[in-house]
Structure 1
Amino acid sequence: MSTGAFSIDQLMELAGLSVSQAVFKLHPPSKGSRVLVACGPGNNGGDGLVAARHLWHYGYQPTIYYPKQSKNELYQRLKKQLEGLTIPFENDFGKAIGETDHIVDAIFGFSFSGEVREPFPSVIEALEKTRIPVLAVDAPSSWNIETGPPESGPGRQYSPDALISLTAPKPLLKMYRGRHFVGGRFLSQAMAEKYNLDIPPYEGLDQVVELRVEGRKL
């Protein structure tokens, strides 16, 4: 991303905006305005915090689950922005999941590897079992970016209803069969050609576009 001279703040804002638009397309406020945004400690969680701010301005009622909060100044500013909008933070995921209409999984993303550590195993198990629609950000949490769901443990049977790939789809998409969006409308043609990426056909003001998943019709 440094090739395009984008700062982490810019990229996180663009990613979070894309996530919020995907939520709006999947689950407009008329279908239920309560959205639970589950955030991890890294950049994926930051994307979720940004998305929650935009969702509030769209008319949703977001709630944040953010149990391992980063002390990084950027994340602290994002949290303060949400507090300024009186968006609640909930520490009990079981309670929060029972009081929402839609879930954003922004726990683990592109850089995740290894084992799922506390307090997230029970959270991912709850995401596996819930009937509430879930949108995962960049990767379903616990999935390996290359090989998909883990062979055992939390997330083995986790397959969210929708996935938004940020900037470009990841190899794990080969193992995914839900609805798929791409977000991050900022790549130049030169950047796309350099990294052999196809820029999807964004329309109008949209920051996201839904793409066909192999084996699944739109």
Structure 2
Amino acid sequence: MTLKTLGAQAAAALDRELMGSGAFSIDQLMELAGLSVSQAVYRVHPPRLGLNILVACGPGNNGGDGLVAARHLFHYGYKPSIYYPKRSNNELYQRLAKQLEDLDVPFVDDFPAALKSTHHIVDAVFGFSFSGEVREPFPAVIRALEETKLPVTSVDAPSSWNIDEGPPKSGLGSNFQPAVLVSLTAPKPLARFFKGRHFVGGRFVSPKIARQYDLDLPQYEGIDQVVEVDHNGQKL
């Protein structure tokens, strides 16, 4: 059974449904999404492979997921650092950043320089709502992600990719292929262009909402918040 993908409009509608009839708050959904990402990172990059995790966060919900993931990674024993150049004035994001500051998790200003002491990268810059051109200060980040030999885990979408059409045909981001993709709630159409290890995360969709959106949700095991799937969406 191939997992159904969700385009940008359907994914946004599903989020609204979860926060409407599903009775979730955005805080809850972000916490569960970030927890899923942290578990995927632990699965593909256990602590023995290196503790330094650089998390690149954008100004929106994708960046919030990254901030949550960084907090969990800290408590797993990693040493995360955060690149968060466009901090939101939204109270939720401010609280997430404060939680990391209280743990003495460093916030860095120079992403390419921070890569020199990093073992794994979490790309939480742009999510499923991204479209158009990559604006400052993120072009340098996308170039670094294209060029690095370090493993990269992308949150929901590789940053700079079009949600339906995948990587740009040319120019910035066209050579970006992360090692790991964590699709939140359900894979997006861009997943067909992805070549690495693919996880689905988000163990919070009720059967009722799943039926409403015709989702083929994977079977999560035990306390896992993520499921690894192959390129056809089959559980591994």
Q: Which residue of 1 aligns with 2:230?
A: 212
Deviates more, 1:207-216 or 1:105-114: 207-216
Q: Which residue of 1 aligns with 2:41?
A: 23
Structure 2, gaps ≥5 residues long = 1-17
Q: Which residue of 2 aligns with 1:149?
A: 167
SS in structure 1 at match of 2:113: helix
Question: Which amino acid counterpart does residue 179 of structure 1 have in structure 2?
Answer: R
- 1:161 is displaced (CA, Å) by 0.4
Q: Which residue of 2 aligns with 1:162?
A: 180
Question: Which amino acid counterpart does residue 20 of structure 1 have in structure 2?
Answer: S
* 1:169-184 → structure 2 map (5 Å cutoff): 169-184=187-202
* 1:8-87 → structure 2 map (5 Å cutoff): 8-87=26-105
Question: Which amino acid counterpart does residue 83 of structure 2 have in structure 1?
Answer: Y
SS in structure 2 at match of 1:4: coil
- 1:150 is displaced (CA, Å) by 1.1
Aligned residues: 218
> For the aligned residues, what is the CA RMSD?
1.5
Post-superposition CA distance 1:110-149 (Å, at most 9, x none): 1100000011111101101111000000000000111101
Counterpart-to-counterpart distance in 2, 1:168 and 1:217: 13
- 1:97 is displaced (CA, Å) by 0.9
The 8 Å contact of residues 177 and 215 in structure 1, kept in 2 or not, is answered as no
The 8 Å contact of residues 229 and 235 in structure 2, kept in 1 or not, is answered as no
Question: Which amino acid counterpart does residue 211 of structure 1 have in structure 2?
Answer: V
Give percent identity, aligned residues only. Answer: 69
The 8 Å contact of residues 177 and 214 in structure 1, kept in 2 or not, is answered as no
Q: Which residue of 1 aligns with 2:3?
A: none
SS in structure 1 at match of 2:108: coil
Counterpart-to-counterpart distance in 2, 1:36 and 1:122: 15
Per the normalisation by structure 2, the TM-score is 0.90
4+ long deviations beyond 3 Å:
214-218
The 8 Å contact of residues 228 and 235 in structure 2, kept in 1 or not, is answered as no
Q: Which residue of 1 aligns with 2:154?
A: 136
Post-superposition CA distance 1:27-72 (Å, at most 9, x none): 0111111100000000000000000000000000000000111011
SS in structure 2 at match of 1:79: helix
- 1:153 is displaced (CA, Å) by 2.3
Counterpart-to-counterpart distance in 2, 1:216 and 1:70: 37
Question: Which amino acid counterpart does residue 49 of structure 2 have in structure 1?
Answer: K
